[in-house]
Amino acid sequence: MKPLHLFCDFDGTITGHDTLVYLATHLGAGESYVQWVGEEIRAGRMTLREAIAEEMRSIRLSFDEASRILREQIPLDPGFADLVDWSRQQGVPFTILSAGFHEIIDLFVPPDEYPWVRVIANRLDPDTEQGWICHFRDPGPYGHDKRKTLREARDHGEYLLFVGDGLSDQRAAEEADIVFAKLSLAAFCREHGIDCHEYQTLTDVRDRLESLRGGLTGITEAGEATEAGEVTEAGEVRG
């Protein structure tokens, strides 16, 4: 029997806008530089890890001031709290996997308000003189290999649900059993033949999960709801 586990990206998925892009554009090197970095990533001349490090290094503002601005300017997805409540009520662990930073995620998902949510992300050392310094989890091109966490969960016998939107989510989408995708991740899934449920907001994700599972706690590989909270080795849900 395989218990379910819901993994979710943060920037652009839980938030309405990417916090790192906002920081670099408005508080760091500026819009033209951010656009150039994006072009370098798409051309394969810069990794996502390198891009994030360069953009964060361009910021000299104090973290307290940047935090105030982020909270004023960056909205949460309106369905986030409901999706967390759904996972808690169903007994499905909820883990945020982010190529961003714990310190920023904690501004929007305070641990005392969301004790059910686990966060796995990089660390940030905001230095007003040298620029913000990144401490990445992994040495690879993404800075945080989300696929590694999903593989560990699979090794523990879990059935993997993943929600994302962008570049750092591609390897995780390849690993997950059920994928919810939007924007460039949805395009990636279509291009590479990865089945996914496309969504606009996390309310769509919650509603789709509820529909797939019939309000219960398990999903078959075909999306058929049954009377159980676990998935068998064959992908079938039973009570």
Give the rounded percent of residues in the chain with a pLDDT score beyond 70. 89
Same domain membership, residue 214 and residue 183? yes
The answer to which of 102-111, 128-137, 224-233 has the lowest mean pLDDT is 224-233
**What's the confidence (pLDDT) of residue 228?**
37
HSE on the CB side for 181, CA within 13 Å?
25
Q: Return d(Cα 71, Cα 93) in angstroms, integer.
A: 26
Give the start-end residues of each E strand in 61-174.
94-101, 117-125, 133-135, 159-164
Q: In angstroms, rounded to a whole number, what is the distance separating the alpha carbons of residues 6 and 219?
A: 12
Q: Does 120 share its domain with 102?
A: yes
User: What's the confidence (pLDDT) of residue 235?
Assistant: 34
Indicate if 54 and 9 belong to the same structural domain: no
Find the domain containing 44 and state its range.
Answer: 19-73
The CATH number assigned to the domain holding 233 equals 3.40.50.1000
Say whether both 64 and 97 belong to one domain. Answer: no
pLDDT at 140 over 80: yes
Contact between 146 and 171 under an 8 Å Cβ cutoff? The reply is yes
> For all residues of the chain together, what is the average pLDDT?
91
CA–CA separation, 167 and 185 (whole Å): 7
- Examine the domain organization and report whether 173 and 230 are in the same domain: yes
**Per-residue model confidence as pLDDT tens digits over 54-73:** 999 999 999 999 999 999 99
> Do 64 and 157 fall into the same domain?
no
Same domain, 53 and 83: no
pLDDT of residue 72: 98
- Report how many domains make up the chain: 2
Residue 175 shares a structural domain with residue 116: yes
- The pLDDT score that the predictor gives to residue 212 is 85
Q: What is the pLDDT averaged over residues 171-200?
A: 98
Same-domain check for residues 151 and 204? yes
Closest CA to 186 of 195, 177, 207, 178: 195
Per-residue pLDDT of 203-226, as tens digits, reads 999 999 999 875 334 444 444 434
208 shares a domain with 174: yes
Q: How many CB atoms lie within 10 A of CB 71?
A: 11
208 and 195 co-located in one domain:
yes
